[in-house]
């Protein structure tokens, strides 16, 4: 059971990394085509979005760690 949960965590992490890479390429392409003033505004929006994503991922990781800990405690007690 723990191995399955760990596998899910690894799959989500790899998928997130691939998605981030794709979004980064798209953002770079958009920024390259915009005039400087618009590019700065878009860049600021992207920075806020990245901060929010980082915060949400941190919360999700903390929740996952809590779930692993609770599951481990229940398995150790035998019920």
Number of domains forming the structure of the chain: 1
pLDDT at 12: 83
16 in a structural domain: no
Please indicate, yes or no, if residue 51 is contained in any of the structural domains: yes
Structural domain that includes position 45: 22-77
Residue 17 inside a domain? The answer is no
43 lies in some domain: yes
Phi, psi of 78 (to 5 degrees): 90, 20
Domain assignment of residue 54, yes or no = yes
Res 11: pLDDT: 87
Lookup: tokens for 29: 């392409």
pLDDT along the chain (79 residues), means of 10: 77 86 90 92 91 90 86 81
């Amino acid at each position: 059971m723990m191995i399955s949960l760990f596998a899910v965590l690894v799959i989500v992490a790899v998928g997130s990394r691939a998605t981030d890479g794709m979004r980064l390429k798209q953002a770079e392409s958009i920024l390259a085509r915009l005039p400087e003033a618009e590019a700065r505004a878009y860049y600021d929006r992207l920075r806020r979005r990245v901060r929010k994503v980082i915060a949400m991922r941190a919360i999700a990781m903390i929740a996952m760690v809590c779930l692993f800990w609770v599951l481990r405690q229940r398995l150790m007690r035998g019920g």
